Amino acid sequence: AQSVTQLGSHVSVSEGALVLLRCNYSSSVPPYLFWYVQYPNQGLQLLLKYTTGATLVKGINGFEAEFKKSETSFHLTKPSAHMSDAAEYFCAVSLTGFQKLVFGTGTRLLVSP
Amino acid sequence: NAGVTQTPKFQVLKTGQSMTLQCAQDMNHEYMSWYRQDPGMGLRLIHYSVGAGITDQGEVPNGYNVSRSTTEDFPLRLLSAAPSQTSVYFCASSYSTDRDRADYGYTFGSGTRLTVV
């Protein structure tokens, strides 16, 4: 069964520092890959998604993710953190598309002044 | 265009009560799903539908029923509420599974926070 591992339930950075949130998936074929962000007491908002042929995916709010097939990873990065980036981030994967989207357990990003 | 609308936003039930969580989308999406979110566990798929009249079970279907009589609506029914069903429930919909489409992806509702006492 496919699975998603997000390393670190909490990540703390200073404002202006690099943000790196890790996501590894278990799959023998390139899956559908997504990053979602959830602000407190809100629903999930799509940050970015993996599409065929692209290894570096750009999303909203300055985030991007690199698809590395050899490492089965899809880590999320942002060059410079803002206070407004404080939220919970979820990596999600599916082999078949929509029907069975499997989420990681989430990483809470804390940004300090 | 309202997207995915979930009602109610908050609900408190007593153990053994039944209720229906409503989900409606106005984007003519074929695919709809229900997830529950619990602390430290991410989101887990309860049930999903690939079109009107077609539903299937996800990872955690026990204690829940669904039906899809129209494209727009996908209600989730709790048959006999238990404290273990205290959670935040999200409905999601999608038009296409073709990841090369510009509109590929899932739209989530704002959630229903359910407490069973």
Residue of B nearest to A34 (CA): B105
User: In a mutagenesis test of the A interface, which of B103, B108, B110, B113 is the best target, namely the one with the most A β-carbons within 10 Å?
Assistant: B108
Per-residue model confidence (pLDDT) at position A49: 87
Distance, CA of A34 to CA of A54 (rounded, Å): 13
3-state secondary structure at position B83: helix
Could you read off the pLDDT of A52-80 as tens digits, one per residue? 777 899 999 999 999 998 899 999 999 99
Q: Which residues of B touch A2 (CB under 8 A)?
A: none
Residue B65, classified by CB atoms within 10 Å of its CB into exposed (0-12), middle (13-18) or buried (19+), is middle
Of residues A29 and B53, the one with the higher pLDDT is B53
For A42, the closest of B42, B48, B110 (CB atoms) is B110
Contact present, B104 and B93 (Cβ < 8 Å): no
Residue range B64-93, pLDDT digits in tens: 999 999 999 999 999 999 999 999 999 999
B41, closest residue in chain A (CA to CA): A105
Chain B CB contacts of A46 under 8 Å are 105-107
Length of chain A equals 113
pLDDT category at A31 given cuts 50, 70, 90 is: confident
Lowest mean pLDDT of A54-63, A88-97, B59-68, B107-116, name the range: A88-97
